[in-house]
Structure 1
Amino acid sequence: MTPPAPSPTSPPSPTAVARPARSRQTLVRQAIESLREQIAAGDWPLGSRIPTEPKLAEALGVGRNTVREAVRALVHAGVLECRQGSGTYVVSTDELAGAVARRCATAAWAETVEVRRAFEVEAARLAALRRTDADLRTLDRALAAREAAWDGGDLTEFVEADVALHTAILAAAHNDMLAELYASIGAAMRATVAEAVGPHLHPDQHVDHARLVEAIRDRDPDRAAHEAAAYLTTD
């Protein structure tokens, strides 16, 4: 018996099937992720200007339109900021910080203080339970720097030193998510500190944080939480 003749239109082998070209949206998503990674890695520090559109296109291996869309997406997310005639700058290291910054810009002062209280009271309690000797050394240095800044009378310097101390307390709590969320309200936190003590530093406005640090040193979570709550009032 004669076998049937092979079909003249046999399907191509799997290796002969052409792969579909990457879609435009896929390229944009990949470009966005590449830019995010470079920002997170510190290739472009906070406040720095990112490379021009042609240079980014060449580095990422994509077209300028793709780069333009990726940059636009990160501007919308609050990570980048386009400045007319100057370039595009890094204004945040992640979308969360950008979104929170936009929200905090329209928040009432009392609301921001209440949010700080929610973070800082729990952080103080956790720090008292989890702090290490290295954490204590960092806290002692930060406390000393805060007192020196107050004595120096410079409002900006004091605000930064105060924020540094509270950031050190958050780090001593050893909860990465809590620390990242707290960092996202950094600008709003500076504003509440400046409003509470500014525009000039007066002796009667000084709030001693030594008792808070001592409570953390003594591993007393209730006392640490009490001390943290004492200076975060909206009265």
Structure 2
Amino acid sequence: MSSPNLDRTALATRLTEAFRARVTDGHWPLGSKIPTEPELVEWSGAGRNTVREAISSLVQSGILRREQGRGTFVLSVSDLRSSVSRRAAATSRRDCLELRLALDAASARIAAVRRTDDDAARLTTLLDERRQAWSGGDVHERIRADSALHRAVVGATHNPLLEEVYDGLLGMFEEVQLHDVAGDTDDLAQLHADLIGAIVARDATAAAATMSALLQPMINELDPPE
């Protein structure tokens, strides 16, 4: 006869993989809030403790992130992304911004060459959503809208490895950016419009230069590295 503890551990392992599959197959998209604990209990048929154990396992692996008072969100969709995210978590603001500049500028250049008509339409829509987000004072909504736009630029490269690495760093980029979006006005609105305009126009040089104009000033205002 098997031990009840072994049975519960096996069930938790299966449930963890079932939840992981919801992430990897897109049912729980990157950045989205996953169902509540009671909803997961109902969906899975497992007990509350087993559901908690499965969620905790994915939080520890970097796939999910708990936010006090807000819920649990998809932070990464693969082990590569989560390992990159964990490594990046201890980095400085300068290191983070320099890495983001390298990735975002390269992505903008490639996206301008490879973007499809669907990509162009999506970028235009997300640019408008970003603009609308600044009409309210919710910094988390501003971060979400800004990240969605930058992530769509990376998506327009159609380079899956670049997308995977970028997604692993997105949570860190968002944390570093929090104080940059707290102002009453969006001082970077025009540069974002110029960026998307350059990508839509397939002007790779202008796209990369505009991305640099967005991020380099944030690096310049920091103290030089020792």
TM-score, normalised via structure 2 length? 0.68
5 Å-filtered alignment, 1:71-86, equals 74-79=58-63
| Structure-1 residue corresponding to 2:213 | 230
Q: 1:29 to 1:166 in 2, by over 3 A?
A: same
- Corresponding letter in the other structure for 1:98: S
Aligned partner of 2:204 among 205, 221, 234: 221
- Corresponding letter in the other structure for 1:199: A
The answer as to whether partners of 2:191 and 2:210 remain within 8 angstroms in 1 is no
The answer as to whether partners of 2:114 and 2:156 remain within 8 angstroms in 1 is yes
| Structure-2 residue corresponding to 1:187 | 171
Q: Percent identity?
A: 30
Aligned partner of 2:94 among 110, 119, 136: 110
Whether 1:125 and 2:105 are equivalent positions in the alignment is no
Which ranges of structure 1 fall in alignment gaps of 5 or more residues?
Answer: 1-23, 58-63
Bigger CA radius of gyration: 1
| Structure-2 residue corresponding to 1:47 | 34
Superposition deviation, residue 148 in structure 1: 2.6
Whether 1:161 and 2:145 are equivalent positions in the alignment is yes
Whether 1:96 and 2:80 are equivalent positions in the alignment is yes
Bigger CA drift: 158-167 or 120-129?
Answer: 158-167
Distance 1:115 1:34 in 2: 33
Distance 1:68 1:190 in 2: 26
Superposition deviation, residue 126 in structure 1: 0.7
| Structure-2 residue corresponding to 1:172 | 156
TM-score, normalised via structure 1 length? 0.66
Q: 1:29 to 1:131 in 2, by over 3 A?
A: same
Distance 2:115 2:145 in 1: 20
Q: 1:202 to 1:98 in 2, by over 3 A?
A: same
Q: 1:102 to 1:30 in 2, by over 3 A?
A: same
Q: 1:223 to 1:185 in 2, by over 3 A?
A: same
Superposition deviation, residue 125 in structure 1: 0.6
Instruction: Name the one with the larger helix percent.
Output: 2
Superposition deviation, residue 201 in structure 1: 2.7
Q: Secondary structure at the match of 2:215?
A: coil
Aligned residues: 201
The answer as to whether partners of 1:104 and 1:188 remain within 8 angstroms in 2 is yes
Whether 1:208 and 2:191 are equivalent positions in the alignment is yes
The answer as to whether partners of 1:79 and 1:92 remain within 8 angstroms in 2 is yes
| Structure-2 residue corresponding to 1:10 | none
- Corresponding letter in the other structure for 1:141: T
Superposition deviation, residue 187 in structure 1: 1.8
Q: 1:204 to 1:143 in 2, by over 3 A?
A: closer
